[in-house]
Structure 1
Amino acid sequence: MTLKLVATFVDHSADTDPAIRWKGRWLEVIDITRPRLEKLAERCEPKYLIMCQAITSDIQTAGGSGVTALREIQMIEKGEKSIIKSEGNAWITCITPTKVWFEGLYEQSGGDALSFAQYKTAVEAYVRFLSNPEGTTIEVAFPDI
């Protein structure tokens, strides 16, 4: 499996009226060795879907919640904290030096734990995407560890 993380804007439409359209932020981890699926909800590798949902719902801006997420990553890296439980809009992100997992604030399932390196890669790329005024798509290699 060769993984890539993609942060971009996508077009959405209302289920009840396809004429109602808007642009939204999208984060996904895809296996570039597989054919690309058309439906957004099916493109992200299932193991990383919760992470992508948590990041996009809880990191709203590069300067505010983005800076906070990056600061939390640095605190873990420097050994200032051994665990951080960061409460966002919909998720509690539990960060340790080796793994990260998500606990839903509204009874949603938290999914599998992933590595600290994977979470750091995703957050850094997404914050870079949010700080880009042109909204240019960001694509980075995603660690498969």
Structure 2
Amino acid sequence: MTLKEEFATRNFSIYGQWLGILSMILCLALGISNIITGIIHPTLLIFAALAIASSFVILFIEVPLLLRICPTSSGFDAAIRRVSTNYMRAGAYAVMGTVQWLSIISMASGLIAAAVFLTITALCYLAAAVKGQDFVGSKTLGGQGVAQMIV
């Protein structure tokens, strides 16, 4: 199935997965840039560090192939594997989005963009769960048998 065919399925979990990748990139980039800004405003450093940590969590959630390749602890693997249903993914993204929305308390910054995309991703996964759509991982990102192909 090509990427175009995946998007044509109208399955919100596919949309959520790709928005999750975009959220990961934004969290990493904005987290790094706000660490530099955080020197001026120290409380922003905490939210920037949380954004960077969120980006790595998202990477392992959305690209399941990495759990087989990267050496991680069994506790971390178990925690990531628990986030497998659409409801759990929606909840995880809602929590990460809420944390970034709270960054406004210290100072309005670029982390608002990360909060917006994390929230939109949570809404996509929630829509998939409410509509009763099964989670379908993108083949491009290592879902649906790609991990089994690597021996």
Higher strand content, 1 or 2: 1
Please say whether Structure 1 and Structure 2 have the same fold, judged by a TM-score greater than 0.5.
no
The structure, 1 or 2, with the larger RCO (C-alpha pairs under 8 Å, 6+ apart) is 2
TM-score if structure 2 supplies the norm length? 0.28
- Larger of the two Rg values belongs to structure: 2
Higher helix content, 1 or 2: 2
